[in-house]
């Protein structure tokens, strides 16, 4: 096993142990408390909060992927090319409005809780996935697409059997970026009562407990690095499988 993979495995193991038995790390986090403050977040289960945080990110990313990939497919077909500027504008909405602004606009309509956070993350994740899918579908090797046409494949068959499999590593790179952004951005969902790791950080800020802030930040940071690395490995595997790694 490579050293890098071993280190990732150890970090993942430590994170898992911390989420299941956080009191084992009380001595370390106690170094960041004062005036007999609790060393470990005590207003809920860190494991439950983390799983809920990941669930929100996964749901928003899935929705962003479906819509963004669908839009990119449409605008790369002859009948949908004229909709490219409109689609790009739609994908840019999330980047135009800060997530906090989206939350502020969504709360009056959707109420407090998870829903406004899902909307904000969904909009914020559209652009990287859309642009990467567009890049992947418009930069396919001409020889491959010509060969697909030459054997009599229909447009739908070329899309499913040739274009999407070849573009998948590039699409996955966009998904990877979207996930990492959403993992960090989801923390602000706690300001509108969504159950995310932001509540741990906010609790620490309100009580001036650095240990709580550190715990929330470390969990988000470690998750972002591990998920980023896992998706990068999957991307390299797909590129190798489709014969693109040597050309990259």
| 129 has a pLDDT exceeding 90 | yes
In degrees, rounded to 5, the angle at the alpha carbon of residue 166 between the alpha carbons of residues 79 and 68 is 50
Length of the chain as a residue count: 248
Mean pLDDT of 104-109: 90
- Categorize the per-residue pLDDT at 86 as very low, low, confident or very high, splitting at 50, 70 and 90: confident
CA distance 164 to 117: 30
| 154 has a pLDDT exceeding 70 | yes
Would you state the pLDDT for residue 1? Answer: 59
- Give phi and psi for 188, each to the nearest 5: -70, -10
CA distance 13 to 19: 10
| 205 has a pLDDT exceeding 70 | yes
Would you state the pLDDT for residue 142? Answer: 82
| 153 has a pLDDT exceeding 70 | yes
| 157 has a pLDDT exceeding 70 | yes
- Categorize the per-residue pLDDT at 78 as very low, low, confident or very high, splitting at 50, 70 and 90: confident
CB 226 within 8 A of CB 12: yes
- Categorize the per-residue pLDDT at 247 as very low, low, confident or very high, splitting at 50, 70 and 90: low
Residue 13, both tokens: 């193991």
- pLDDT higher for 81 or 21? 21
Whole-number average pLDDT of the chain: 91
Return the minimum-mean-pLDDT range out of 33-37, 47-51, 64-68. Answer: 33-37
- Categorize the per-residue pLDDT at 248 as very low, low, confident or very high, splitting at 50, 70 and 90: very low
Class of CATH domain 3-11+40-241: mainly alpha
Task: Report which of 144, 120, 129 is spatially closest to residue 244, judged by C-alpha positions.
Answer: 144
Mean pLDDT of 145-161: 84
Would you state the pLDDT for residue 198? Answer: 96
How does DSSP classify residue 162? Answer: I
| 27 has a pLDDT exceeding 90 | yes
CA distance 139 to 134: 8
CB 161 within 8 A of CB 220: no
Which residues lie below 8 Å from residue 82, measured CB to CB, with a gap of 6+? none
Domain ranges of the chain: 3-11+40-241
CA distance 197 to 46: 8
Mean pLDDT of 28-38: 94
Place of tokens 């998920």: 227
pTM of the model: 0.91
Residue 216, both tokens: 């929330």
- Give phi and psi for 152, each to the nearest 5: 90, 20
Write the pLDDT tens digit of every residue in 169-197. Answer: 999 999 999 999 999 999 999 999 899 99
Would you state the pLDDT for residue 143? Answer: 84
Considering the chain, what percentage of its residues have pLDDT values greater than 90?
69
**Cα-atom radius of gyration of the chain, to the nearest Å?**
21
Task: Report which of 9, 17, 12 is spatially closest to residue 47, judged by C-alpha positions.
Answer: 17
Mean pLDDT of 220-236: 94
CB 231 within 8 A of CB 176: yes
CB 133 within 8 A of CB 69: yes
Mean pLDDT of 78-100: 85
């Amino acid at each position: 096993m490579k050293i890098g993979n071993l280190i990732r495995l150890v970090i993942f193991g430590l994170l898992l142990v911390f989420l299941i038995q956080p009191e084992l790390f009380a001595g370390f986090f106690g170094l960041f408390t004062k005036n007999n403050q609790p060393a470990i977040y005590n207003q809920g289960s860190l494991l439950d909060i983390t799983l809920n945080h990941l669930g929100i990110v996964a749901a928003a990313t899935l929705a962003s992927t479906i819509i963004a990939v669908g839009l990119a497919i449409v605008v790369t077909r002859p009948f949908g090319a004229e909709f490219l500027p409109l689609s790009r504008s739609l994908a840019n909405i999330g980047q135009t409005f800060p997530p906090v602004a989206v939350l502020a606009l969504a709360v009056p309509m959707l109420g407090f809780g998870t829903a406004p956070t899902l909307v904000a993350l969904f909009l914020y994740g559209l652009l990287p996935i859309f642009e990467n899918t567009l890049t992947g579908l418009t930069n396919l090797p001409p020889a491959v697409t010509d060969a697909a046409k030459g054997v009599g494949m229909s447009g739908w068959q070329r899309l499913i059997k040739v274009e999407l499999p070849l573009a998948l590593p590039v699409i996955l790179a966009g998904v990877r970026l979207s996930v990492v952004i959403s993992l960090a951005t989801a923390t602000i969902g706690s300001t509108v009562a969504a159950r995310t790791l932001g509540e741990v950080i906010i609790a620490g800020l309100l009580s001036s407990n650095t240990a709580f802030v550190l715990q929330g930040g470390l969990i988000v940071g470690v998750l972002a690095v591990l998920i980023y690395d896992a998706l990068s490995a999957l991307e390299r595997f797909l590129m190798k499988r489709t014969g693109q790694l040597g050309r990259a």
